A and B are shown apart, each in its own frame.
Chain A
Amino acid sequence: MNEILMGLTAVMTPYNLFICVAGLFIGVLFGALPGFSATMAVAIFVPFTYSMEPGSALLLLSGLYCGGVYGGSIPAVLLGIPGTPASAPTALEGNALVRKGQAGKALHLVTLASVFGGFVSALCLLVGSGLLAQVAMMVGQPEQMFITIFGLSVVIMLSEDNLYKGVMVAIVSLILACFGQDPIEGFPRFTYGFSALISGLNVTSVLIGLFSLPEVFKMLEDPFGKIAESGKVGSMKMKLSELKASLYNAIRSTLIGVGVGIVPAAGPDIAAFMAYNQAKKASKHPEQFGQGADEGIVAAESGNNGATGGSLIPLLTLGIPGSAPAALFLSAMILHGVRPGPTLFTEHAETVYTMIIGFAVINLLMYFVGMIYCKAGSMILKIPKAILATSIVVLAVVGTYSTNRNMFDVWVMFGAGVIGYIMIRNDFPIAPIALALLLGSNMEKAWSVTKTLYEGELYMIFTRPLTVALALFTVVSFAFPLYKMYRKHKNKTKAAKAADTEVK
């Protein structure tokens, strides 16, 4: 309690509050620009924090991180281009709402869900970090392996309309995730003699191309039109009853987010997909998903922001970063002598509690910063598509190049964009690519360690209780949607046979 008050007073100084707001403003901007990401925002500002107090430095980075994850959802709603992979499921729904003239409502919903997810995850971090650290410790390599496979089961849901195409895309993408050195022997695979492929395809570049360029090509099919034909953004007002209806969904999605965040190998992007998946399973109107379902937006956004706090748990208690921005947090903390690990909470209590309380405050402030951006951002719907498309391509190229200063990544980005457009025009879902690329390499790493640790007696992994539970989840998550589809199919044929007499 003492530490909490200490943290609260540290955050509530004008300087630190200013730092939080500044971090948010910059973070949201980075997240919102296609091609730029939360990771870049944190990477650029890490050197700036060297001269700051450790507490303030971590507050700035937290603001950038939370803002970046949230910011990605603004273009996801408005343009159907997720600013960061974590907003990919939001893009599936948001764009449909814009076409219905409900952009304002969608943005408000996104903001509220993000604030809720982020704030609750900060509370979980504050109250349960000790307990959750125990959980994080229990998640060894065999558990991580099952979690990644579990994550892949979301592909089935994403491609319910055309299961074979979806699964095919996922399998090809898993092979793409194998490009580069194999994790055990360092043998280069699928590199075709290019040294640039030694570390594999850069997932960020692929995703930037895949999500931004096809939308650009679509815009160019009608270059003089505007995104919202009527120029109507729609009211931002929402009814209380609508909020109440989403509350349960938001709580569930946030908890999924926190849980996924704890797993070292998965971050906000995977959390968003999983929460979206569960929301669709639990929904009374699953057929609305993809056509602008509020539930989908709420789930994805509270899920990915829930993971921001969750991913700090393995970072703070074990020193293991759960996502790329978390890895940068780690190096900033080490540089300030605030070394993450089991002794962090005793040795650096003030800094840590400043950061955690700051995390909660930042998420509340995010509502106000977010609404400013949403108001301003909705203007882009009125810009002619030709101008918009050009700016997006410029941003995508600059963003891709500046991450690694590497021209090869830019070609990868363009390649992914062209392939993505061809896929969309032929009704292949592109979301499974994101999922498979993000999970593929982690799955391989976890599998290779598990395999070497349990060499010759792989069945012994089932002596770990958590592994058994996760393995069962995984089996169910693959089987359940298939069973549901089978039943639907059977009902349909039955209904057809029984003609008019037996209408379901």
Chain B
Amino acid sequence: MKKALSLILASALTLTMAGCTITIGGGLGDGTATTGGDVSSDGSFYAGKTVTMIVPWAAGGGADTAVRLVCDYAEDILGCTIVISNVAGGGGSIGLQQLVTSNPDGLTLAYVANTDSNGDVMLEGITYTVDSFAPVCVFAEDPHIIVASKDSGITDLASLEAAGASGETSWGIGGAWTHWDFLKMEFEEATGTNYHRVVYDGGTTAITDVASGDCDVATPFISEAMSQIDAGNVVPVAVTSAERNPSCPDIPTLAEQGLDGFDSTMWRGVVAPAGTPESYLREFAEAVGEACQNPELLERAQTAGTTISFIGYDEFQDYFMENHESVRSYVEQADF
């Protein structure tokens, strides 16, 4: 009760201070929350405001598509306008740098994925650390599909493990220091195998080389893999998530094939600058959670090849730190 009261007070205060923003943003909202009075009475902070969502990658990429999709629905729930700002360059660091130096007022948020919190060890000249961020929520978890070339004779986990004994089987990844690299390390650690690392400039290039037989194994995302799988040019081995994916229900998981508890996905989430009031972030996370249950969004996401999966505010706090530590230890042990 006390909390709710303080929340109302805080939002009322902010609304008075940011009166200007409200009048501008209000016209763009859904029309129900145009005046400050209405907004504070239901305790909503975001209604009628304009939020900047920094996507540190170019427009039209996988990250951009997923963010736009979710924000499209979250916007209606929050009654605010979300402006997507693609600040690309520096391996994602320029956009995140812009985030951590912006006001922690809840109106500037950014897209984040597995490896971003470790920019200070993986990249160079990065001033932000994991403590510069306030994690908000996760909205998608994209599994990889392990595919093998037809000549390799690999069809399931057992034959994949057998091929990984000598260290000569080539394993194509879509980019250095990305989740592709960490997935390979996680798999090798879990099975005690070792593969020959080949770095491509994307999952599609890798799977094309698997289809032509130049490379033995690759781990593209679903959107990159399905057409080659359907055409029968590559052999699907497993999906890397804990459960089967609705886009390809026939492909078994690694866990089903005996690798207990193996779950490695590229998650996509939202962060705010550290110091942003928790109540705002909770409101935002809840709206995203509600959006993630919208069947229309789920259908559009599946068409676009993204797997919607929501992790709420509380759970994400721990998940974010665990993931940070895990990636950090892999970076420090990495030996190419």
Contact status B124-A188, CB under 8 Å: yes
Give chain B nearest CB distance to A61 CB in angstroms: 10
Q: Contacts A141-B214, A195-B123 hold; do A404 and B304 have CB atoms under 8 A apart?
A: no
Give chain B nearest CB distance to A352 CB in angstroms: 13
How many angstroms from the CA of A46 to the CA of B59 in the assembled complex?
9
Contact status B227-A409, CB under 8 Å: no
Give chain A nearest CB distance to B80 CB in angstroms: 18
Stretch at the interface among B86-94, B133-141, B150-158: B86-94
Residue of B nearest to A405 (CB): B87
How many angstroms from the CA of A409 to the CA of B87 in the assembled complex?
11
A15 at the B interface (CB under 8 A): no
A448 at the B interface (CB under 8 A): yes
**Residues on the B chain within 8 Å of A343, using CB:** 227, 230-231
Stretch at the interface among B6-14, B15-23, B202-210, B280-288: B202-210
Give chain B nearest CB distance to A42 CB in angstroms: 8
Contact status B86-A197, CB under 8 Å: no
A130 at the B interface (CB under 8 A): no
Give chain A nearest CB distance to B257 CB in angstroms: 26
B65 at the A interface (CB under 8 A): yes
- Size range of the interface on A? 35 or more
Q: Contacts A141-B209, A318-B208, A320-B204 hold; do A406 and B224 have CB atoms under 8 A apart?
A: no
Contact with A320, one of B177, B208, B305 (Cβ below 8 angstroms): B208
Contact status A331-B85, CB under 8 Å: no
Contact status A342-B59, CB under 8 Å: no
Contact status B94-A408, CB under 8 Å: yes
Contact status B89-A202, CB under 8 Å: yes
B307 at the A interface (CB under 8 A): no
Contact status A453-B215, CB under 8 Å: yes
Contact status A185-B196, CB under 8 Å: no
Give chain B nearest CB distance to A69 CB in angstroms: 18
How many angstroms from the CA of A191 to the CA of B89 in the assembled complex?
13
Mask, B92-114, CB within 8 Å of A = 1, is 01100100000000000000000
Contact status A196-B94, CB under 8 Å: yes
Contact status A319-B124, CB under 8 Å: no
Stretch at the interface among A24-32, A77-85, A332-340: A332-340
Mask, B311-336, CB within 8 Å of A = 1, is 00000000000000000000000001
Contact with A198, one of B58, B90, B200, B204 (Cβ below 8 angstroms): B90
Contact status B170-A341, CB under 8 Å: no
Contact with B197, one of A137, A335, A452 (Cβ below 8 angstroms): A452
Contact status A199-B60, CB under 8 Å: no
**Residues on the A chain within 8 Å of B97, using CB:** 195
**Residues on the A chain within 8 Å of B88, using CB:** 403-406
**Residues on the A chain within 8 Å of B227, using CB:** 319, 339-344
Q: Contacts A327-B60, A404-B87, A453-B215 hold; do A195 and B125 have CB atoms under 8 A apart?
A: yes
Contact with B303, one of A196, A337, A453 (Cβ below 8 angstroms): A337
- Chain B CB count within 10 A is highest, among A328, A336, A342, for A342
Interface of chain B residues 28 through 70 with chain A (CB within 8 A): 58-62, 64-65, 68
**Residues on the A chain within 8 Å of B233, using CB:** 342
B199 at the A interface (CB under 8 A): yes
**Residues on the A chain within 8 Å of B209, using CB:** 140-141, 449
Using A195-B93, A334-B223 as known contacts, list a sample of 12 further A-B pairs with CB atoms less than 8 Å apart, ordered by residue number in A: A138-B212, A140-B212, A193-B125, A197-B90, A202-B89, A319-B224, A320-B208, A331-B62, A334-B65, A339-B305, A445-B200, A449-B209
30 A–B contacts, CB within 8 A, in A order: A47-B59, A140-B212, A181-B91, A183-B176, A184-B199, A184-B336, A185-B176, A191-B125, A194-B124, A195-B125, A196-B90, A197-B125, A198-B124, A198-B125, A199-B89, A319-B204, A319-B227, A328-B60, A331-B65, A334-B223, A337-B304, A339-B223, A341-B230, A342-B230, A343-B231, A404-B58, A405-B85, A445-B200, A452-B170, A453-B170
